[in-house]
Amino acid sequence: MKLTWKDGVTTVTMGLITAGYLAFLLGADLPVIDTVRGTTATVLVLGMVGGCAFSGLDQSRKIGLDRFLVGLASVFGATALVAAIIAFGTASPAALAVLFGATAAVWLTATLRHALTGTGIQATLGPRTHEVIGPDDRAHRTGV
């Protein structure tokens, strides 16, 4: 289990997104989230700042479950982006619902990936080394 403080930040952010979306659904008269477009902007900005900004580029090789979960999160992320564009353009509550669901799915998938596979930023900390020349190539290149 490799959950870090960044997973905590994204969980709090997802809680704020959920609270904002529920306030919209319940008809709360709050600034910004009283319209579909305002709520869409809120979900999109919180998702980008609280989720994307706290993610790390993982340069490790992905195999098995890790690779599947990264791919799944990518599909959910693309779905969220398309839903946000549609929600902004049409003020559709259905598109907003898809945006919220896809955002929650990205968060859940990423958190599960970190918890189950032990990957994420914590697993990639430390010196990054890349083998450029293999042991056989080294002898060939140095003439040994």
pLDDT bracket for residue 143 (50, 70, 90): low
Q: Which of 1-10, 58-67, 101-110, 111-120 has the lowest mean pLDDT?
A: 58-67
- Per-residue pLDDT at 29 exceeds 70: yes
**pLDDT of res. 2:** 75
**pLDDT of res. 124:** 44
pLDDT bracket for residue 136 (50, 70, 90): low
**pLDDT of res. 41:** 93
- The pLDDT tens digits of the residues spanning 77-131 come to 899 999 999 999 999 999 999 999 999 999 898 888 888 876 544 444 444 445 5
- 48 or 128, which is more confident? 48
**pLDDT of res. 20:** 92
- For every residue of the chain, DSSP letters joined together read ----HHHHHHHHHHHHHHHHHHHHHTT---SSTTSHHHHHHHHHHHHIIIIITT-----SPP-HHHHHHHHHHHHHHHHHHHHHHHHHHH--HHHHHHHHHHHHHHHHHHHHHHHHH--STGGG-S------S-HHHHHHHHT-
